[in-house]
Amino acid sequence: MRIDKFMKVSRLIKRRTVANEVADAGRITVNGKPVKASYAVKEGDVLEVAFGQTPVRVKVVSTEAPTGKDLAREMYVVLSE
């Protein structure tokens, strides 16, 4: 799954176009390296997203699209906020 789609489906970012812009601006890193929106997310990846002054680090648990919005938060584990 592409990182921009993962961000939208997991509800870390509300819209895919915004996730695409954030990734292309270099504000998303995977395992310490900046990535573009087309990066394929894998289970076990550690994502860091810079939301203003507060970076959020999450670990990817699943890349399967959830069946409901209640299950979206089960796609990742928050490491730090």
Cβ pair 32, 54 in contact under 8 A = no
Q: What is the pLDDT of residue 43?
A: 92
Specify the pTM.
0.86
Tokens 């906020």 locate to 81
Write down the pLDDT at residue 75: 87
Please list the pLDDT of the chain residue by residue as tens digits (81 residues). Answer: 899 999 999 998 899 999 999 988 889 999 989 999 999 999 999 999 988 888 899 999 988 887 777 788 888 998 877
